[in-house]
Chains A and B, each alone.
Chain A
Amino acid sequence: MQQSEFINIVMPFRDKLFRMAKRLLVSTEEAEDATQEVLLKLWTNSNSMEKYRNVEAFAMTMTKNYCLDRLKSKQASNLKLVHSNYKDENVSLQKKVEVDDSLDWMNKIMNTLPEQQRMVLQLRDVEQYEYDEIAKMLDMNPTAIRVALSRARKTVREQLIKKHNYGIS
């Protein structure tokens, strides 16, 4: 497979991999590392790429596995505190200054969710994948995905209402 051909296949979903990695790993740097790792792996195996019916779903699964491995080894080496200290760079991206605070809050809520719920929420509400696509990527059945998704959305809602009742400081 030619390099240009590979890039054409990979480019449309590269950012999605990156965002998924960032949702799990939080740090932008680490998310870039994860994306690079996954794409290089795909490239070295690009001859067998035609065999995979859905390269995008396959790449997403690879990203998920890579990130979960990273998180596991981090936990093992007690780097968790360092990990949660990363500055969130999402905020700098958006232009609506008046909602800065609530978006920052949303990000914090997201990071308190269990990994599986975070992934489901990311794939559905941010990337708008269909349930059967998410099922393939996460190797879960669609019912379990709906349950996790509903749970995640409700947790976010609860936290937001709590915040709303306190009033935005």
Chain B
Amino acid sequence: MASVNHIEALLEKYFEADTSIAEEKVLQDYFNSDEVAPHLEQYASMFQFFKISGEERSTRAIPLKPGRKVYLLKWISVAAVAALLVGIFINQPSQTDSLQANYTQEELESAQMALAIFSENFNKGTQGMSYLKEFEKNTNKFLK
């Protein structure tokens, strides 16, 4: 058992907050024993109180399950949205590709030539249509 002098010295340090955990344990044990010196008795309830306070337990059961599922679902939806965005992003550039990127200069020129020939012949065709107008005039005369 620690001597009274030792306890007094420790108490002095204790109130200046200079004691180590081990020294505080000595005080704690001393004041929770049955051999407290009469002139130190006033401190006993302090250390007894600390000891008893430390024995209290939390008794409520804590439901852990709910939080988990919500958490997973949240990340699944985030992943789905991300996948969608990536899909749209990947598809977009192919639509905006210019002709120059997909065909060589030669191919383009031959296509242009083909279109020019086509439109020239088409115009010839429409010129030929003007004879038909004359024909229409005469048939109308006949029908009246």
- Chain A interface (Cβ < 8 Å from any Cβ of B): 3, 6-7, 14-15, 17-19, 22-23, 31-32, 35-36, 39-40, 43-44, 90, 93-94, 96, 99, 102-103, 105-107, 110, 122, 124-128, 130, 146-147, 149-150, 153-154, 156-157, 160-161, 163-164
Chain A binding surface SS class? helix
Report A-chain residues with C-beta under 8 Å of the C-beta of B64: 3, 6-7, 40, 43
Chain B binding surface SS class? helix
* Chain A-chain B contacts (Cβ-Cβ < 8 Å), number: 96
Which interface residue of B16, B52, B59 has the most chain A CB atoms within 10 A? B52
Report A-chain residues with C-beta under 8 Å of the C-beta of B44: 99, 102
B: contact size bracket? 20 to 34
B51-68 residues at the A interface, CB under 8 angstroms = 52-60, 62, 64-65, 67-68
Q: Is the CB of B60 within 8 A of A32?
A: yes
Q: Is the CB of A44 within 8 A of B17?
A: no
Q: Is the CB of B58 within 8 A of A15?
A: yes
